[in-house]
Amino acid sequence: MSFYVLRLEYALEGSSNYIAWKDRMEEVLEENGLKEFINHDIPKPPALDGKDLVEWKNYVAKARKNILEGV
């Protein structure tokens, strides 16, 4: 899976570019298969389900990284 990130020109600069930033952030998250993490509450898998829990944590970390890079 390749990951797309925001270029510096799309960084959030406050209310002046929030709508454009939000739209671009949704595109980046969708391209990375992470949009459901902002549109829905994806419950954390039970601790007993090790593989799914690790996968869930990785997706959450990737979504946070994409968002933080755009701020």
Residue 62 in tokens = 């990737």
Spacing of C-alpha 15 from chain mean position:
20
- Name the burial class of residue 56, with classes exposed (0-12), middle (13-18) and buried (19+) by CB atoms within 10 angstroms of its CB: middle
Is the per-residue pLDDT at 71 higher than 80? no
Question: pLDDT by residue (tens digit) across 21-70?
Answer: 889 888 888 988 888 888 777 888 887 778 888 988 998 899 888 888 87
